[in-house]
Amino acid sequence: MPSDVTIDELRQRLREISDLSAAASVLHWDQTTAMPTGGAVSRSRQLALLGRLSHERATDPELGVLLDRLMPYAESLPSGHDDRALIEVAQRDFDLAMRVPAEFSERAAGHMSKTYAAWLTARPHDDFVAVQELLETTLELSREYCEFFPDSDHIADPLIDAADQGMTVARIRPVFAELRTGLISLLDHISNSKQVDDEPLRNHFPAAQQARFSTAVIQAMGYDFDRGRLDPTAHPFMTRFAHGDVRITTRTNESFLGEHVFVTIHEAGHALYEQGTRADDDGTPLGSGTSSGMHESQSRLWENIVARSPEFWSYWYPKLQEEFPKQLQNVSLQEFYNAINRVQPSLIRTDADEVTYNLHVMLRFELELDLLEGNISIAELPNTWHERYRDDLGVSAANDRDGVLQDVHWYAGFIGGAFQGYTLGNIIGAQLFEAALHDTPEIYAQIARGEYQPLHDWLRTNIYRIGRRRTPDQLIADVTGSPLDAKPLLNRLQTKFSKIYPE
């Protein structure tokens, strides 16, 4: 260690950056759960100030000097040493922050908030023309961002890398292509089979009982309410302020039972990841989930692999019937299980089932690449969207509200890198669960008894506690011995849905 600098000095600087962004997260959480509408103007000013302050600290030249001085020390340590990992990850974050000029970031942020405000009105009015020019500027800004990384192979790679470190178009495309082919053939089989219905889920289910049930489930999963809380919001999310404060939000539909419980479990899956990081990593860049896809793998693993399994409901369904005796007394466990797993090609990504969901996502991913590559223009986007929905899902929206205007992503951020993480998450989640089953074959028997501790412990040891010490690729290889691979997901879906939809 050089005598004039210490790792503690680095930790101190990183903690301040982390605290500033956590303070912004508290303000954002409040904005979406509790703030009166009158607070909007001052809140966006306060958030902009905190964003500027944390960016200034993250790009402080003195941080760069400190990292330069610490690098020989890092390189003298064995790989995997905590100090070495901390210095290397901090260096990556610093390099990334320095690549993008502050002038550009501010210009882009200003444009995004204007576009978001326009989208809030354009979507209910089904008015794509109102956002078309703004979106053209967004596409230009997205290309401009990518140009700060001239050494990348594909124009979209920098935007993908920002969310899913190490992933590239060249890596993702063949894996997605294999998944898409398999899913379209599975969907074809399902469409030609006897259909199941979700009528049992359509009734009046009071919010208070739904909340009581979901709370019991996520507590059993291991979500720690002493270090978290659950609040209602319009668009649910998980947010971390500190190792000791990881919050989740959810929404409730009183006339459809198949939403609230799965949204809550999904967000709790994200929260288990953050709550399960190491306490001594708090305030450093090591102490959080390693990528958007890896994070989504944890939410989807709990939501789909665990909570849409027959074993899970053999334990919980009697308890759900106790909450809703009138609504569910004549609904068998099998009918309920089929209802929550009904496959139905639809227009809306966030309502999609396990089989069609990734088709929605991969279609958006390809559209992003086509836009960035210049194969299609923003003006052509609405019709291309409809055509691809017809091709892949056999459905087509009568309007743009349920077409190109449906997701907030392109209206609040860049075009590129916004969607692949969702499908990567489903792919990685299936790979990790297969590895967990290999190590602990009795996991499903434990799930049938309402016991999640062994699975939770396995995830904590192999994923959560690693934080950002390993890249997504390294982590997948460490845990599964394989590279990114769509087969475990395809195999799981084929096995599961051929039982729900026999010939």
CB closer to Zn ion out of 249 and 299: 299
Structure tokens at 216: 């019991």
Instruction: Single out the segment in contact with Zn ion by CB under 5 A; choices: 18-26, 295-303, 366-374, 427-435.
Output: 295-303
**Count of residues in the chain:** 503
CB closer to Zn ion out of 275 and 284: 275
CB neighbour class for 256 (10 Å; exposed up to 12, middle 13-18, buried from 19): middle
Instruction: Single out the segment in contact with Zn ion by CB under 5 A; choices: 130-138, 299-307, 315-323, 494-502.
Output: 299-307
Q: Provide, rounded to whole angstroms, the least separation between the CB of residue 476 and Zn ion.
A: 18
Q: Provide, rounded to whole angstroms, the least separation between the CB of residue 485 and Zn ion.
A: 21
Q: Provide, rounded to whole angstroms, the least separation between the CB of residue 77 and Zn ion.
A: 35
Q: Provide, rounded to whole angstroms, the least separation between the CB of residue 270 and Zn ion.
A: 6
Examine residue 284 and tell whether it contacts Zn ion (CB under 5 A): no
Asked if residues 235 and 250 have their Cβ atoms less than 8 Å apart, the reply is no
| CA 371 – CA 139 distance, rounded (Å) | 8
Structure tokens at 104: 């550009």
Q: Provide, rounded to whole angstroms, the least separation between the CB of residue 97 and Zn ion.
A: 25
CB closer to Zn ion out of 239 and 356: 239
Instruction: Single out the segment in contact with Zn ion by CB under 5 A; choices: 41-49, 291-299, 333-341, 349-357.
Output: 291-299
Question: Binding residues for Zn ion, how many (CB under 5 A)?
Answer: 1
| CA 449 – CA 469 distance, rounded (Å) | 34
Strand partners, 231: 249
Look-up: residue for tokens 């501790």? 453
CB closer to Zn ion out of 327 and 356: 356
Look-up: residue for tokens 């956002």? 131
Structure tokens at 99: 């690549």
CB closer to Zn ion out of 284 and 292: 292
Q: CA torsion 389→176→171→361, rounded to 10°?
A: 50
CB closer to Zn ion out of 143 and 266: 266
Q: Catalytic residue, from 103, 106, 147, 267: name it.
A: 267
The backbone region for 277, taken as left when phi is positive above 0, alpha when psi lies in -120 to 50, beta otherwise, is beta
- Give the rounded distance of the alpha carbon of 435 from its chain centre: 21
Structure tokens at 48: 């902009």
The interaxial angle of helices 102-122 and 40-58, nearest 10 deg, is 150
Q: Provide, rounded to whole angstroms, the least separation between the CB of residue 351 and Zn ion.
A: 15
Among 299, 327, 338, 358, binds Zn ion (CB under 5 A): 299
Q: Provide, rounded to whole angstroms, the least separation between the CB of residue 228 and Zn ion.
A: 16
**Count helices and strands in the chain by DSSP H and E runs:** 22, 3
Structure tokens at 44: 């966006």
Is 62 one of the annotated active-site residues of the chain? no
Q: Is 178 helix (H, G, I), strand (E, B) or coil?
A: helix
Q: Provide, rounded to whole angstroms, the least separation between the CB of residue 314 and Zn ion.
A: 26
DSSP-derived letter for residue 468 is: T
Direct distance between the N- and C-terminal alpha carbons of the chain, in angstroms, rounded to an integer? 67
CB closer to Zn ion out of 275 and 299: 299
Asked if residues 146 and 152 have their Cβ atoms less than 8 Å apart, the reply is yes
- Give the rounded distance of the alpha carbon of 384 from its chain centre: 26
Instruction: Single out the segment in contact with Zn ion by CB under 5 A; choices: 3-11, 292-300, 434-442, 470-478.
Output: 292-300
CB closer to Zn ion out of 302 and 337: 302
Closest residue to Zn ion in the complex (CB): 299
Q: Which residues bind Zn ion (CB under 5 A)?
A: 299
Catalytic residues: 267
